[in-house]
Amino acid sequence: MEQCYICKQYNYCETHHIFNGSNRKKSEEYGSLIRVCRKCHTEIHRNYELRSELKKQAQEKIMQAENWTIEDFRQVFYKNYL
């Protein structure tokens, strides 16, 4: 059992890639993965505001870790989520 990143309950968790599609591999490369329960994983995919907030948080973490500007982030991920 693991603690879900979203609801904080202990349950079976699965991996969610914060940046998906063509940026899925970049999510892996830059550590933008979270462990979430099935219920919350479904909610992430249904809830635009939640997805946007997770992307914003991930962008902030990556920019801090890599010492990047918004433009640096945009060059790699093609979008700014802040």
Q: What angle do CA 11, 3, 18 make, to 5 degrees?
A: 105
Question: Is residue 17 one of the residues assigned to a domain?
Answer: yes
Question: Is residue 20 one of the residues assigned to a domain?
Answer: yes
Question: Is residue 23 one of the residues assigned to a domain?
Answer: yes
Question: Is residue 82 one of the residues assigned to a domain?
Answer: no
Q: Tokens 């010492």 label which residue? A: 67
- Per-residue pLDDT at 16: 97
Question: Is residue 43 one of the residues assigned to a domain?
Answer: yes
pTM, to two decimals: 0.90
pLDDT over 90 at 1, yes or no: no
- Per-residue pLDDT at 9: 95
Number of structural domains in the chain: 1
> Whole domain around residue 16: which residue ranges?
2-77
Distances (CA, A) of 46 to 22, 41, 42, 43, 62: 19, 9, 6, 5, 24
Distances (CA, A) of 1 to 14, 28, 73: 11, 22, 34
Average confidence (pLDDT) over 26-45: 96
